[in-house]
Structure 1
Amino acid sequence: MGYYASWVLARSPGRLLVDLPEVRTLFGSRWSRLDDRGDGWHLAVVAPNPHEWSKVGGGIERLVAATGAPVLAAWVSESSCARLVGATPSGLSWSRHLLAYQGMKRGKCGYDHSRFATLRLPEGERPDAADTRTLVKDLLAWSAEAGFTTSRDAIAHVLRSTELDGHDRIDKLVDALGVPYAAEVPMLFEHQELDWWTPWEQGHRAAYRACGRWTTGDDDADPERPWDADHLAFVDLVAASVFGTGASRTELVEHAKRLEEQWAADIAASRPRV
Protein backbone atom coordinates (compact mmCIF):
# COMPACT_ATOMS: atom_id res chain seq x y z
CA MET A 1 0.00 0.00 0.00
CA GLY A 2 1.36 3.43 -0.91
CA TYR A 3 2.22 5.86 1.83
CA TYR A 4 2.70 9.52 0.97
CA ALA A 5 2.71 12.25 3.60
CA SER A 6 4.51 15.18 5.12
CA TRP A 7 5.86 14.97 8.65
CA VAL A 8 6.02 18.39 10.30
CA LEU A 9 7.64 19.16 13.64
CA ALA A 10 7.08 22.73 14.80
CA ARG A 11 6.18 24.78 17.86
CA SER A 12 2.77 26.41 18.25
CA PRO A 13 2.08 27.31 21.90
CA GLY A 14 -1.58 27.77 22.77
CA ARG A 15 -2.77 26.63 19.36
CA LEU A 16 -2.80 23.29 17.57
CA LEU A 17 -0.25 23.14 14.78
CA VAL A 18 -2.95 21.99 12.36
CA ASP A 19 -4.76 25.32 12.84
CA LEU A 20 -1.87 27.40 11.52
CA PRO A 21 -2.67 28.62 7.99
CA GLU A 22 1.00 28.32 7.04
CA VAL A 23 0.89 24.57 7.74
CA ARG A 24 -2.16 24.07 5.54
CA THR A 25 -0.66 26.25 2.79
CA LEU A 26 2.61 24.34 2.77
CA PHE A 27 1.42 20.79 3.41
CA GLY A 28 -2.35 20.45 2.85
CA SER A 29 -5.01 19.34 5.31
CA ARG A 30 -5.63 15.57 5.04
CA TRP A 31 -4.47 14.93 8.60
CA SER A 32 -3.68 11.42 9.77
CA ARG A 33 -1.81 12.05 13.02
CA LEU A 34 -1.06 14.79 15.53
CA ASP A 35 1.21 14.34 18.54
CA ASP A 36 1.59 16.72 21.46
CA ARG A 37 5.34 16.77 22.10
CA GLY A 38 5.19 19.14 25.07
CA ASP A 39 5.98 22.85 25.56
CA GLY A 40 3.95 23.84 22.51
CA TRP A 41 5.68 21.42 20.11
CA HIS A 42 3.59 19.25 17.80
CA LEU A 43 4.33 16.55 15.26
CA ALA A 44 1.76 16.39 12.46
CA VAL A 45 1.45 13.85 9.66
CA VAL A 46 -0.52 15.26 6.75
CA ALA A 47 -1.02 14.96 3.00
CA PRO A 48 -2.79 17.28 0.57
CA ASN A 49 -6.35 16.58 -0.47
CA PRO A 50 -6.34 16.24 -4.28
CA HIS A 51 -7.59 19.79 -4.91
CA GLU A 52 -4.81 21.19 -2.71
CA TRP A 53 -1.93 19.96 -4.86
CA SER A 54 -1.96 23.06 -7.05
CA LYS A 55 -1.61 25.31 -3.97
CA VAL A 56 0.73 23.54 -1.56
CA GLY A 57 4.50 23.75 -1.40
CA GLY A 58 7.15 26.31 -0.77
CA GLY A 59 9.91 26.83 1.74
CA ILE A 60 9.42 26.04 5.41
CA GLU A 61 11.01 29.39 6.25
CA ARG A 62 7.48 30.82 6.18
CA LEU A 63 6.51 28.50 9.02
CA VAL A 64 9.70 29.39 10.90
CA ALA A 65 8.78 33.08 10.61
CA ALA A 66 5.19 32.41 11.75
CA THR A 67 6.20 30.38 14.81
CA GLY A 68 9.50 32.02 15.73
CA ALA A 69 10.95 28.54 16.29
CA PRO A 70 12.87 25.88 14.36
CA VAL A 71 10.91 23.68 11.94
CA LEU A 72 11.70 20.18 10.74
CA ALA A 73 9.74 18.67 7.87
CA ALA A 74 9.94 15.67 5.59
CA TRP A 75 8.08 14.50 2.54
CA VAL A 76 7.86 10.71 2.60
CA SER A 77 7.35 9.20 -0.84
CA GLU A 78 5.52 5.91 -0.40
CA SER A 79 7.99 4.24 1.93
CA SER A 80 10.93 4.34 -0.45
CA CYS A 81 12.51 7.63 0.54
CA ALA A 82 12.17 10.81 2.55
CA ARG A 83 13.33 14.31 1.72
CA LEU A 84 14.16 15.98 5.02
CA VAL A 85 14.49 19.74 5.46
CA GLY A 86 15.24 21.90 8.46
CA ALA A 87 15.33 25.63 9.16
CA THR A 88 15.72 27.83 12.23
CA PRO A 89 15.20 31.49 13.16
CA SER A 90 18.98 32.00 13.26
CA GLY A 91 19.19 31.20 9.55
CA LEU A 92 20.21 27.53 9.58
CA SER A 93 18.74 25.83 6.52
CA TRP A 94 19.52 22.48 4.92
CA SER A 95 18.01 19.47 3.17
CA ARG A 96 18.86 15.79 2.74
CA HIS A 97 17.37 13.00 0.65
CA LEU A 98 17.27 9.69 2.51
CA LEU A 99 16.63 6.37 0.79
CA ALA A 100 14.76 3.66 2.68
CA TYR A 101 16.87 0.81 4.05
CA GLN A 102 20.04 2.47 2.74
CA GLY A 103 21.33 4.34 5.77
CA MET A 104 23.21 7.42 4.62
CA LYS A 105 24.04 6.08 1.16
CA ARG A 106 23.21 8.34 -1.74
CA GLY A 107 21.65 6.82 -4.84
CA LYS A 108 19.08 7.16 -7.59
CA CYS A 109 15.50 7.83 -6.56
CA GLY A 110 12.59 6.73 -8.73
CA TYR A 111 10.12 9.25 -7.30
CA ASP A 112 9.40 12.54 -9.04
CA HIS A 113 9.98 15.14 -6.33
CA SER A 114 9.05 18.02 -8.63
CA ARG A 115 5.31 17.34 -8.90
CA PHE A 116 3.45 15.38 -6.26
CA ALA A 117 5.58 16.37 -3.29
CA THR A 118 4.98 19.18 -0.82
CA LEU A 119 8.71 19.91 -0.54
CA ARG A 120 8.97 20.32 -4.29
CA LEU A 121 12.15 20.56 -6.29
CA PRO A 122 12.60 22.27 -9.67
CA GLU A 123 11.75 19.93 -12.54
CA GLY A 124 14.72 17.79 -13.49
CA GLU A 125 16.69 18.43 -10.30
CA ARG A 126 17.98 15.36 -8.52
CA PRO A 127 16.54 15.09 -4.99
CA ASP A 128 20.07 14.77 -3.59
CA ALA A 129 21.54 17.66 -5.61
CA ALA A 130 21.45 20.06 -2.66
CA ASP A 131 22.15 17.48 0.02
CA THR A 132 23.97 18.69 3.10
CA ARG A 133 27.10 16.62 3.68
CA THR A 134 27.01 17.42 7.42
CA LEU A 135 23.55 16.14 8.34
CA VAL A 136 24.41 14.92 11.83
CA LYS A 137 26.05 18.25 12.65
CA ASP A 138 23.09 20.15 11.19
CA LEU A 139 20.59 18.13 13.20
CA LEU A 140 22.60 18.68 16.38
CA ALA A 141 22.53 22.42 15.74
CA TRP A 142 18.79 22.30 14.96
CA SER A 143 18.07 20.39 18.17
CA ALA A 144 20.16 22.77 20.26
CA GLU A 145 18.40 25.84 18.88
CA ALA A 146 15.05 24.18 19.54
CA GLY A 147 16.07 23.58 23.15
CA PHE A 148 16.26 19.78 23.06
CA THR A 149 18.98 17.54 24.43
CA THR A 150 20.37 14.84 22.18
CA SER A 151 23.68 13.29 21.15
CA ARG A 152 25.62 12.67 17.98
CA ASP A 153 25.37 8.90 18.54
CA ALA A 154 21.57 8.95 18.93
CA ILE A 155 21.09 10.84 15.66
CA ALA A 156 23.71 8.87 13.75
CA HIS A 157 22.18 5.55 14.86
CA VAL A 158 18.86 6.40 13.19
CA LEU A 159 20.40 7.89 10.06
CA ARG A 160 22.75 4.96 9.47
CA SER A 161 20.16 2.26 10.07
CA THR A 162 19.49 -0.04 7.10
CA GLU A 163 16.32 -1.41 8.70
CA LEU A 164 14.09 1.67 8.43
CA ASP A 165 11.80 2.75 5.62
CA GLY A 166 10.97 6.38 4.86
CA HIS A 167 8.32 7.10 7.47
CA ASP A 168 9.80 4.94 10.26
CA ARG A 169 13.12 6.76 9.87
CA ILE A 170 11.49 10.17 10.35
CA ASP A 171 9.43 8.93 13.29
CA LYS A 172 12.50 7.61 15.08
CA LEU A 173 14.58 10.64 14.14
CA VAL A 174 12.17 12.94 15.98
CA ASP A 175 12.68 10.83 19.12
CA ALA A 176 16.45 10.80 18.58
CA LEU A 177 16.49 14.59 18.47
CA GLY A 178 15.40 14.59 22.10
CA VAL A 179 11.84 15.75 21.44
CA PRO A 180 9.77 14.47 24.39
CA TYR A 181 6.47 12.71 23.81
CA ALA A 182 3.42 13.93 25.73
CA ALA A 183 0.33 12.42 24.10
CA GLU A 184 -1.42 11.76 20.83
CA VAL A 185 -4.06 14.37 20.05
CA PRO A 186 -7.15 12.30 19.19
CA MET A 187 -9.12 12.83 16.01
CA LEU A 188 -12.78 13.26 16.91
CA PHE A 189 -13.85 11.67 13.64
CA GLU A 190 -12.43 10.59 10.30
CA HIS A 191 -12.44 12.84 7.26
CA GLN A 192 -15.01 10.62 5.57
CA GLU A 193 -17.79 9.36 7.83
CA LEU A 194 -21.15 7.71 7.20
CA ASP A 195 -22.86 10.77 8.70
CA TRP A 196 -21.73 12.89 5.73
CA TRP A 197 -20.66 10.25 3.23
CA THR A 198 -22.37 11.56 0.09
CA PRO A 199 -21.42 15.27 0.31
CA TRP A 200 -17.84 14.40 1.23
CA GLU A 201 -17.66 11.91 -1.65
CA GLN A 202 -18.94 14.58 -4.04
CA GLY A 203 -16.27 16.91 -2.68
CA HIS A 204 -13.60 14.27 -3.15
CA ARG A 205 -14.68 13.72 -6.76
CA ALA A 206 -14.55 17.45 -7.33
CA ALA A 207 -11.08 17.47 -5.78
CA TYR A 208 -9.84 14.84 -8.21
CA ARG A 209 -11.31 16.78 -11.12
CA ALA A 210 -9.48 19.91 -9.95
CA CYS A 211 -6.26 17.94 -9.57
CA GLY A 212 -6.67 16.50 -13.06
CA ARG A 213 -7.08 19.96 -14.57
CA TRP A 214 -3.95 21.12 -12.77
CA THR A 215 -1.97 18.05 -13.82
CA THR A 216 -2.91 18.25 -17.50
CA GLY A 217 -3.18 22.01 -17.76
CA ASP A 218 -6.47 21.48 -19.59
CA ASP A 219 -9.45 23.19 -17.93
CA ASP A 220 -11.82 21.54 -20.40
CA ALA A 221 -10.65 17.97 -19.77
CA ASP A 222 -13.00 17.43 -16.83
CA PRO A 223 -14.72 20.78 -16.27
CA GLU A 224 -15.93 22.06 -12.94
CA ARG A 225 -19.52 21.21 -12.03
CA PRO A 226 -21.86 23.83 -10.56
CA TRP A 227 -21.85 22.03 -7.20
CA ASP A 228 -18.08 21.48 -6.96
CA ALA A 229 -17.19 24.63 -5.00
CA ASP A 230 -19.75 23.96 -2.27
CA HIS A 231 -18.60 20.36 -1.82
CA LEU A 232 -14.92 21.26 -1.87
CA ALA A 233 -15.65 23.79 0.86
CA PHE A 234 -17.28 20.98 2.84
CA VAL A 235 -14.17 18.78 2.50
CA ASP A 236 -12.09 21.71 3.76
CA LEU A 237 -14.48 22.28 6.67
CA VAL A 238 -14.26 18.64 7.74
CA ALA A 239 -10.45 18.80 7.58
CA ALA A 240 -10.47 21.90 9.77
CA SER A 241 -12.67 20.15 12.32
CA VAL A 242 -11.24 16.68 12.89
CA PHE A 243 -9.25 17.78 15.97
CA GLY A 244 -12.11 19.71 17.53
CA THR A 245 -11.26 23.29 16.61
CA GLY A 246 -13.72 23.76 13.74
CA ALA A 247 -17.30 22.59 13.34
CA SER A 248 -18.84 19.98 15.61
CA ARG A 249 -20.14 16.65 14.36
CA THR A 250 -23.69 17.95 14.69
CA GLU A 251 -22.86 21.05 12.65
CA LEU A 252 -21.19 18.95 9.96
CA VAL A 253 -24.19 16.63 9.74
CA GLU A 254 -26.52 19.60 9.36
CA HIS A 255 -24.26 21.14 6.73
CA ALA A 256 -24.19 17.85 4.83
CA LYS A 257 -27.98 17.63 4.83
CA ARG A 258 -28.24 21.16 3.44
CA LEU A 259 -25.84 20.28 0.63
CA GLU A 260 -27.83 17.17 -0.26
CA GLU A 261 -31.08 19.13 -0.28
CA GLN A 262 -29.54 21.85 -2.45
CA TRP A 263 -27.72 19.74 -5.01
CA ALA A 264 -29.17 16.19 -5.09
CA ALA A 265 -31.55 16.87 -7.98
CA ASP A 266 -28.90 18.62 -10.12
CA ILE A 267 -26.36 15.86 -9.51
CA ALA A 268 -28.91 13.16 -10.36
CA ALA A 269 -29.93 15.00 -13.54
CA SER A 270 -26.30 15.18 -14.67
CA ARG A 271 -25.85 11.42 -14.68
CA PRO A 272 -25.96 9.70 -18.10
CA ARG A 273 -29.29 8.06 -18.88
CA VAL A 274 -29.16 4.36 -19.67
Structure 2
Amino acid sequence: MGWYGTILIGRPGEERLPAYPGVRQAFGSQFRVLHDLDEGWQRVDVYPFYRERPRFTAGVQQLAAATDAPALAAYVAESSCAHVEARTPKGAAISIHLPNRHDACSYRHREGQPGPLVPRLAVEAFEAWADEAGRSPDPATLAAVVGGDWDESPFMEDRVLALIAALGFPPGREIPPLIDPDDEAFAAYRRLAFLADVRAATRISIVEHGETPGAEWDLSPREHDSLRFSEILEASMYGGARSRAQLLAECERLAAR
Protein backbone atom coordinates (compact mmCIF):
# COMPACT_ATOMS: atom_id res chain seq x y z
CA MET A 1 0.00 0.00 0.00
CA GLY A 2 1.33 3.44 -0.92
CA TRP A 3 1.49 6.64 1.08
CA TYR A 4 -1.53 8.77 1.86
CA GLY A 5 -1.22 12.23 3.39
CA THR A 6 -0.88 15.94 2.83
CA ILE A 7 2.44 17.75 2.46
CA LEU A 8 1.91 21.30 3.71
CA ILE A 9 4.18 24.36 3.38
CA GLY A 10 3.61 27.67 5.14
CA ARG A 11 5.35 30.52 6.89
CA PRO A 12 3.73 30.69 10.34
CA GLY A 13 6.01 33.25 11.95
CA GLU A 14 7.00 32.39 15.52
CA GLU A 15 4.60 29.43 15.70
CA ARG A 16 5.10 25.87 14.65
CA LEU A 17 2.99 25.11 11.60
CA PRO A 18 0.99 22.27 13.24
CA ALA A 19 -0.01 24.63 16.06
CA TYR A 20 -0.94 27.55 13.81
CA PRO A 21 -4.63 28.52 14.23
CA GLY A 22 -6.89 26.82 11.71
CA VAL A 23 -4.34 24.32 10.37
CA ARG A 24 -5.75 21.31 12.23
CA GLN A 25 -9.33 22.15 11.22
CA ALA A 26 -8.34 22.60 7.58
CA PHE A 27 -5.94 19.70 7.01
CA GLY A 28 -6.20 17.21 9.87
CA SER A 29 -4.94 16.74 13.41
CA GLN A 30 -2.08 14.26 13.03
CA PHE A 31 1.35 15.68 12.15
CA ARG A 32 4.59 13.89 11.39
CA VAL A 33 8.04 15.01 10.27
CA LEU A 34 8.08 18.78 10.67
CA HIS A 35 10.91 20.53 8.79
CA ASP A 36 12.42 23.98 9.19
CA LEU A 37 13.08 25.30 5.67
CA ASP A 38 14.78 28.51 6.89
CA GLU A 39 13.55 32.11 6.81
CA GLY A 40 10.41 31.15 8.71
CA TRP A 41 9.20 28.51 6.25
CA GLN A 42 8.11 25.08 7.48
CA ARG A 43 6.99 21.84 5.87
CA VAL A 44 4.99 19.12 7.59
CA ASP A 45 3.18 15.89 6.73
CA VAL A 46 -0.46 15.92 7.83
CA TYR A 47 -2.95 13.09 8.28
CA PRO A 48 -6.58 13.56 9.31
CA PHE A 49 -8.34 11.30 11.73
CA TYR A 50 -10.89 9.13 9.92
CA ARG A 51 -13.69 11.17 11.49
CA GLU A 52 -12.28 14.50 10.29
CA ARG A 53 -13.42 16.24 7.12
CA PRO A 54 -10.59 18.55 6.02
CA ARG A 55 -11.27 21.74 4.06
CA PHE A 56 -8.26 21.39 1.80
CA THR A 57 -8.65 24.19 -0.78
CA ALA A 58 -10.18 26.70 1.62
CA GLY A 59 -7.49 25.83 4.15
CA VAL A 60 -4.68 26.82 1.79
CA GLN A 61 -6.42 30.11 1.02
CA GLN A 62 -6.98 30.85 4.71
CA LEU A 63 -3.41 29.96 5.66
CA ALA A 64 -1.98 32.29 3.00
CA ALA A 65 -4.25 35.11 4.16
CA ALA A 66 -3.61 34.57 7.88
CA THR A 67 0.18 34.35 7.57
CA ASP A 68 0.44 36.99 4.81
CA ALA A 69 2.67 34.55 2.94
CA PRO A 70 2.19 32.00 0.16
CA ALA A 71 0.97 28.56 1.16
CA LEU A 72 0.93 25.21 -0.62
CA ALA A 73 -0.61 21.83 0.14
CA ALA A 74 -0.43 18.57 -1.81
CA TYR A 75 -2.73 15.68 -0.94
CA VAL A 76 -1.09 12.42 -2.08
CA ALA A 77 -3.22 9.30 -2.69
CA GLU A 78 -1.46 5.93 -2.36
CA SER A 79 1.81 7.36 -3.74
CA SER A 80 0.11 7.48 -7.16
CA CYS A 81 -1.35 10.95 -7.62
CA ALA A 82 -1.57 14.33 -5.92
CA HIS A 83 -4.01 17.22 -5.72
CA VAL A 84 -1.94 20.39 -5.31
CA GLU A 85 -3.35 23.73 -4.17
CA ALA A 86 -1.20 26.87 -3.88
CA ARG A 87 -2.26 30.40 -2.94
CA THR A 88 -0.61 33.75 -2.25
CA PRO A 89 -1.82 36.81 -0.33
CA LYS A 90 -1.88 38.80 -3.58
CA GLY A 91 -4.38 36.40 -5.11
CA ALA A 92 -2.32 33.97 -7.17
CA ALA A 93 -4.05 30.58 -7.23
CA ILE A 94 -2.94 27.22 -8.59
CA SER A 95 -5.01 24.03 -8.65
CA ILE A 96 -3.38 21.08 -10.37
CA HIS A 97 -3.56 17.31 -10.36
CA LEU A 98 -0.38 15.32 -10.75
CA PRO A 99 0.03 13.59 -13.12
CA ASN A 100 -1.18 16.61 -15.11
CA ARG A 101 -3.16 14.93 -17.86
CA HIS A 102 -6.66 14.67 -19.29
CA ASP A 103 -7.65 11.16 -18.20
CA ALA A 104 -9.70 10.78 -15.04
CA CYS A 105 -7.99 9.79 -11.82
CA SER A 106 -8.95 6.43 -10.30
CA TYR A 107 -8.61 7.80 -6.76
CA ARG A 108 -11.31 9.67 -4.89
CA HIS A 109 -10.50 13.32 -4.24
CA ARG A 110 -12.96 14.76 -1.75
CA GLU A 111 -13.02 18.17 -3.46
CA GLY A 112 -12.83 16.78 -6.97
CA GLN A 113 -9.98 16.33 -9.41
CA PRO A 114 -8.61 19.60 -10.85
CA GLY A 115 -8.66 19.73 -14.62
CA PRO A 116 -5.40 19.57 -16.60
CA LEU A 117 -3.33 22.73 -17.02
CA VAL A 118 -1.24 23.74 -20.02
CA PRO A 119 2.27 22.90 -18.74
CA ARG A 120 3.74 26.26 -19.76
CA LEU A 121 1.00 28.13 -17.90
CA ALA A 122 1.40 25.89 -14.85
CA VAL A 123 5.14 26.60 -14.76
CA GLU A 124 4.50 30.34 -15.03
CA ALA A 125 1.96 30.15 -12.20
CA PHE A 126 4.38 28.27 -9.93
CA GLU A 127 7.15 30.73 -10.81
CA ALA A 128 4.87 33.61 -9.76
CA TRP A 129 4.08 31.78 -6.51
CA ALA A 130 7.79 31.27 -5.83
CA ASP A 131 8.62 34.88 -6.64
CA GLU A 132 6.04 36.11 -4.14
CA ALA A 133 7.53 33.70 -1.59
CA GLY A 134 10.96 35.23 -2.20
CA ARG A 135 12.35 32.00 -3.65
CA SER A 136 14.40 31.26 -6.78
CA PRO A 137 12.50 28.65 -8.80
CA ASP A 138 13.96 26.12 -11.24
CA PRO A 139 11.79 26.33 -14.40
CA ALA A 140 13.28 23.19 -15.98
CA THR A 141 12.38 20.96 -13.01
CA LEU A 142 8.98 22.62 -12.67
CA ALA A 143 8.33 21.84 -16.33
CA ALA A 144 9.39 18.21 -15.83
CA VAL A 145 7.11 17.77 -12.81
CA VAL A 146 3.98 19.36 -14.31
CA GLY A 147 4.66 18.15 -17.84
CA GLY A 148 4.98 14.48 -16.95
CA ASP A 149 8.67 14.14 -17.82
CA TRP A 150 9.95 13.81 -14.25
CA ASP A 151 10.83 10.14 -13.74
CA GLU A 152 13.30 10.16 -10.84
CA SER A 153 10.99 8.06 -8.66
CA PRO A 154 7.68 6.24 -9.13
CA PHE A 155 6.33 7.64 -5.85
CA MET A 156 4.16 10.75 -6.04
CA GLU A 157 5.30 12.07 -2.66
CA ASP A 158 8.81 12.25 -4.11
CA ARG A 159 7.48 14.18 -7.09
CA VAL A 160 5.82 16.65 -4.71
CA LEU A 161 9.11 17.08 -2.84
CA ALA A 162 10.80 17.68 -6.21
CA LEU A 163 8.18 20.34 -6.93
CA ILE A 164 8.89 22.00 -3.59
CA ALA A 165 12.63 21.93 -4.28
CA ALA A 166 12.01 23.39 -7.75
CA LEU A 167 10.12 26.26 -6.09
CA GLY A 168 13.39 27.14 -4.37
CA PHE A 169 13.11 25.48 -0.96
CA PRO A 170 15.99 23.53 0.64
CA PRO A 171 15.41 20.05 2.13
CA GLY A 172 15.49 21.69 5.56
CA ARG A 173 16.20 20.19 8.94
CA GLU A 174 13.78 18.10 10.95
CA ILE A 175 12.31 19.69 14.07
CA PRO A 176 12.02 16.96 16.72
CA PRO A 177 8.60 16.58 18.32
CA LEU A 178 8.09 17.60 21.93
CA ILE A 179 6.06 14.43 22.55
CA ASP A 180 6.43 11.01 20.92
CA PRO A 181 2.91 9.87 20.01
CA ASP A 182 4.18 6.30 19.75
CA ASP A 183 5.36 6.32 23.36
CA GLU A 184 4.44 2.91 24.78
CA ALA A 185 2.96 4.63 27.84
CA PHE A 186 0.09 5.86 25.64
CA ALA A 187 -0.31 2.69 23.56
CA ALA A 188 -3.49 1.38 25.20
CA TYR A 189 -5.39 4.62 24.68
CA ARG A 190 -4.06 5.00 21.14
CA ARG A 191 -5.40 1.53 20.25
CA LEU A 192 -8.79 2.31 21.76
CA ALA A 193 -8.84 5.72 20.07
CA PHE A 194 -8.09 4.15 16.69
CA LEU A 195 -11.06 1.79 16.96
CA ALA A 196 -13.30 4.59 18.26
CA ASP A 197 -12.17 6.84 15.40
CA VAL A 198 -13.19 4.20 12.85
CA ARG A 199 -16.59 3.82 14.51
CA ALA A 200 -17.10 7.59 14.67
CA ALA A 201 -16.15 7.92 11.01
CA THR A 202 -18.60 5.18 10.04
CA ARG A 203 -21.38 6.94 11.93
CA ILE A 204 -20.59 10.22 10.15
CA SER A 205 -20.56 8.45 6.79
CA ILE A 206 -23.98 6.94 7.45
CA VAL A 207 -25.37 10.42 8.17
CA GLU A 208 -23.64 11.87 5.09
CA HIS A 209 -25.46 9.27 2.98
CA GLY A 210 -28.80 10.49 4.33
CA GLU A 211 -29.43 7.56 6.62
CA THR A 212 -29.97 7.32 10.37
CA PRO A 213 -27.26 5.43 12.26
CA GLY A 214 -28.44 2.80 14.70
CA ALA A 215 -27.65 2.85 18.39
CA GLU A 216 -24.86 0.34 17.81
CA TRP A 217 -22.82 3.21 16.31
CA ASP A 218 -23.11 5.39 19.42
CA LEU A 219 -19.78 5.80 21.17
CA SER A 220 -19.35 4.88 24.81
CA PRO A 221 -18.06 7.41 27.36
CA ARG A 222 -14.72 5.55 27.37
CA GLU A 223 -14.50 5.84 23.60
CA HIS A 224 -15.24 9.56 23.77
CA ASP A 225 -12.51 9.89 26.40
CA SER A 226 -10.03 8.08 24.17
CA LEU A 227 -10.80 10.36 21.23
CA ARG A 228 -10.33 13.48 23.34
CA PHE A 229 -7.07 12.09 24.68
CA SER A 230 -5.81 11.32 21.17
CA GLU A 231 -6.55 14.92 20.14
CA ILE A 232 -4.64 16.28 23.16
CA LEU A 233 -1.75 13.90 22.47
CA GLU A 234 -1.46 14.98 18.83
CA ALA A 235 -1.75 18.67 19.78
CA SER A 236 1.12 18.19 22.24
CA MET A 237 3.57 16.89 19.63
CA TYR A 238 4.63 20.28 18.31
CA GLY A 239 2.42 22.76 20.10
CA GLY A 240 3.13 21.98 23.74
CA ALA A 241 -0.52 21.51 24.72
CA ARG A 242 0.57 19.06 27.46
CA SER A 243 3.88 17.80 28.81
CA ARG A 244 4.58 14.07 28.96
CA ALA A 245 3.98 14.12 32.72
CA GLN A 246 0.60 15.83 32.21
CA LEU A 247 -0.36 13.30 29.53
CA LEU A 248 0.54 10.42 31.83
CA ALA A 249 -1.55 11.98 34.59
CA GLU A 250 -4.46 12.30 32.16
CA CYS A 251 -4.09 8.59 31.29
CA GLU A 252 -4.27 7.70 34.98
CA ARG A 253 -7.28 9.94 35.51
CA LEU A 254 -9.15 8.34 32.61
CA ALA A 255 -8.24 4.83 33.74
CA ALA A 256 -9.66 5.57 37.20
CA ARG A 257 -13.03 6.72 35.83
Question: Where do 1:193-208 residues align within 5 Å?
Answer: 193-208=183-198
Residues 1:145 and 2:132 are matched in the alignment: yes
- For 1:80, the equivalent position in structure 2 comes to 80
Q: Following the alignment from structure 1 to structure 2, what is the Cα–Cα distance between the partners of residues 81 and 190?
A: 30
Q: Could you report, residue by residue, the CA deviation over 1:111-164 in whole angstroms, capped at 9, with x for unpaired residues?
A: 1112xxxxx23xxxxx133x4322111100000000001231132234331343
- For 1:128, the equivalent position in structure 2 comes to 114
- For 1:178, the equivalent position in structure 2 comes to 168
Classify the secondary structure of the residue corresponding to 2:36.
Answer: strand
Where does structure 1 lack aligned partners over 5 or more consecutive residues?
115-119, 122-126, 263-274
Classify the secondary structure of the residue corresponding to 1:6.
Answer: strand
Residues 1:70 and 2:70 are matched in the alignment: yes
Q: Following the alignment from structure 1 to structure 2, what is the Cα–Cα distance between the partners of residues 128 and 19?
A: 29
Comparing 87-96 with 201-210, which one deviates more in the overlay?
201-210
Q: Is the 8 A contact 1:94 1:132 kept in 2?
A: no
Question: Where do 1:185-264 residues align within 5 Å?
Answer: 185-217=175-207, 218-220=212-214, 222-243=217-238, 245-262=240-257
The one-letter amino acid paired with 1:260 is A
CA gap 1:241/1:83 in 2 versus in 1, 3 angstroms: same
Identity of aligned residues (%): 31
Higher helix share: 2
The one-letter amino acid paired with 1:151 is D
The ranges of structure 1 where at least 4 consecutive aligned residues each deviate by more than 4 angstroms after the TM superposition are: none
Residues 1:157 and 2:144 are matched in the alignment: yes
Classify the secondary structure of the residue corresponding to 1:51.
Answer: coil
What is the CA-CA distance between 1:108 and the residue it aligns to? 2.5
The one-letter amino acid paired with 1:215 is S
Q: Is the 8 A contact 1:150 1:177 kept in 2?
A: yes
User: In the comparison of the two structures, how many residue pairs are matched?
Assistant: 246
The one-letter amino acid paired with 1:246 is A
Of residues 88, 105, 108, the one that matches 2:104 is 108
What is the CA-CA distance between 1:48 and the residue it aligns to? 0.1
What is the CA-CA distance between 1:178 and the residue it aligns to? 0.7
What is the CA-CA distance between 1:219 and the residue it aligns to? 3.1
Where does structure 2 lack aligned partners over 5 or more consecutive residues?
none
What is the CA-CA distance between 1:69 and the residue it aligns to? 0.7
- For 1:41, the equivalent position in structure 2 comes to 41
Comparing 163-172 with 78-87, which one deviates more in the overlay?
163-172
Q: CA RMSD in A?
A: 1.8
The one-letter amino acid paired with 1:132 is L
Comparing 157-166 with 32-41, which one deviates more in the overlay?
157-166
